[in-house]
Structure 1
Amino acid sequence: MNAFSLPAPAKLNLMLRILGRRADGYHELQTIFQLLDFGDTLTFEATTDGHIHLQCPGVDVPPQQNLIYRAAQLLRQHCGNREQGARITVDKILPAGGGIGGGSSDAATALLGLNHLWQCRLDLDKLAELGAQLGADVPVFVRGHSAFAEGVGERLTPVSIAPQWYLVLTPACHVSTAALFSDPRLTRDSAAITLAALRDRRLNTHWLNQYAGNDFQSLVESLYPEVHAARSWLAHYGQAYLTGTGACVFAGFASEEAAQKVFAERPEGWQGFIAKGVDDSPTHRQLAKFAATV
């Protein structure tokens, strides 16, 4: 297969707790990653010139600093064939700095897609290990399953999450993750959730409501009025939370129709989307279809 496309799905953090700061400066976290059936699309085409050609319209970052490009270079370096090249085109719809994993998911899809294109035959363990060098959220997208995460986000336990439709609002601001982690006002002493509380790794809406919350939420809302306004408005229709380190906020609904009804009422000019939560990544589903046709 010389050219093909793969989705790069968004994620939500249905719960995010900061347990403390480690000696190395990183933070111990616990979070629930919920994958969505909505995201960017990456198209891959093999080249023989030994170069990585990246086209990502709308992203104001030099290609060499883009996580997709860095993922491609990392994989090629590991596989040891510098003559292989690729042309990668990105249909970018996920906002940067939104806390929905756009850059991390793109990097993971790049690793998965190029592993297939270049026939590197690396397993998910090795690809996740490479992905961790690019960012803490990359491994969950590489492994392709909603998960309970610990450590800095690298220790993953797959979970099954009760299906919901999510309304996600995307305020027009870019939240700096580094600035939040260094802010002295950030809460860093939340109680840990034990694996026993995961109830055989099946999380129903009662469990999610019991443990929901995001330790970044109050800080982000104090720094970014747009986030506070979006979440406060959405809270009139359901339990609304910040995802990741922001800026996006979300609420879950039992049906697409219910989510669409609320979305239609949003203030003029507000952006967002509606997506279904999924346990298995659409990236992996598409790769499985490719494998079935071989």
Structure 2
Amino acid sequence: MTLYDVPAPAKINLFLHVVGRRDDGYHLLQTAFRFIDLCDTLHFDRRSDGRIVCEGSQPGLAHEDDLVVRAARALQSATGTSFGAQIRYQKIIPSGGGLGGGSSDAASTLLALNRLWQTGLDRRALMALALPLGADVPVFIYGQPAFAQGVGEQLSPLSLPQRFYVVIQPSEPVPTAGIFSAPELTRNTPSIIMSVFVDWQRVHAQGIGVLAGGTNSGSSSGTSSSPYFGRNDLEPVVCSRFARVRETALWLKRQGIHARMTGSGGCFFIECATLEQARLCQQEIIVKMPGSENGQTAMVENTWACPGLLDHPLRHWIRS
């Protein structure tokens, strides 16, 4: 049995507030997750010998450290299945970009192998397996846009308007662990209740519109200079420590384009009302963005224009 062309979509954090820190060192967050149509692709063949064989891991990443392998092993251990899997995947989502690529790959592995092995776990059981793999993994099993609290595991469904995004990848990956351990990280942002974000979304639903010329008709929570709710508390830390990320942020600001960093960085996103606007904005960035000069590395590695997803493409593969 096989499952080919299984998607693993990226996520963006529409805002990300660090509201505290537990005694065990884990940070308490509030964030809004949205999936976007920028996907890795995985292929699975069922094996009868119980072995997990994975092709396509990141260079320098040990087989047993790959989240895809760890997810497969976790499902094997939890269910006692005698099956194994031959897994291949192609990476599109950049590592160290704050887009949740590794977490999404792990979640799609759990969803696909639960079906391929006919292990029959429901959503709650798979989310419990997902959390030890990483704080972002459960939301991909949850399968819909979500308001997240705790370490990211307390999820409530969000209804979000259709939006389109330009994603910008600076030519510098950002390791998550170093950002959360930074002494200068803000860890006391006041908590909000979900309805505050929901009400803000409703009020601003008609106002968003990033244009190719860099203007924006949206307004932010408490300021007219940004079309986004709240902020990403990790962005100042990342920009202070990673030159290419900082240069990208400053260049976008100089163009009058409102962008926000997602997750722990270093990718930025720009929210648009239509796919045409997103593509025009992407083209403007490609044309104007400084390239490599005098042997220097280019500031930006890649850009994409893609829709936001209303649901995870595999949401209905499991029972709720």
Q: Same fold (TM over 0.5)?
A: yes
Does the alignment pair 1:165 with 2:164? yes
Report Cα offsets for 1:34-77 as digits up to 9, x if no partner. 11112101111111121011011554311111000000000001
Give the Cα separation in 2 of the matches to 1:145 and 1:129: 17
CA shift for structure 1 position 123: 0.2
TM-score norm. by structure 1 comes to 0.91
Q: Distance in 2 between matches of 1:227 and 1:110?
A: 31
- On the 8 A contact 2:43/2:87 being kept in 1, the answer is yes
Alignment of 1:271-286 (within 5 A): 271-284=302-315
**Are the aligned partners of 1:238 and 1:252 in contact in 2 as well (CA < 8 Å)?**
no
Unaligned ranges ≥5, structure 1:
none
Give the direction of change, closer, same or farther, for the CA distance of 1:241–1:155 in structure 2 (3 Å limit). Answer: same
Task: Quote the residue 1:24 is aligned against.
Answer: 24
In structure 1, distance between residues paired with 2:3 and 2:232: 40
Paired residue total: 286
**Structure 2 residue aligned with 1:72:** 72
2:208 corresponding residue in structure 1: none
Identity, % of aligned positions: 41
Give the aligned partner of residue 263 of structure 2: 244
Query: After the TM superposition, which segments of 4 or more aligned residues of structure 1 sit over 4 Å from their partners?
Result: none
Q: Pick closer, same or farther for the CA change 1:178–1:94 going to 2, 3 Å.
A: same
Q: Is the 8 A contact 1:71 1:107 kept in 2?
A: yes
Distance in 1, matches of 2:7 and 2:187, equals 34
Say yes or no: does 1:259 pair with 2:278: yes
Q: Which moved more, 1:221-230 or 1:205-214?
A: 205-214
Are the aligned partners of 1:36 and 1:277 in contact in 2 as well (CA < 8 Å)?
yes
Q: 1:49 corresponds to which letter in structure 2?
A: D
Structure 1: how far apart are the matches of 2:164 and 2:243? 26
Alignment of 1:171-210 (within 5 A): 171-199=170-198, 203-204=201-202, 206=204, 209-210=220-221
Q: What TM-score do the two structures reach when normalised by structure 2? A: 0.84
- Point out where structure 2 has 5 or more consecutive residues left out of the alignment: 206-218, 222-228, 292-297
Q: Aligned AA for 1:279?
A: L
Q: CA RMSD in A?
A: 2.0
Structure 1 segment 221-240 matched on structure 2, within 5 A: 221-235=239-253, 236-240=255-259
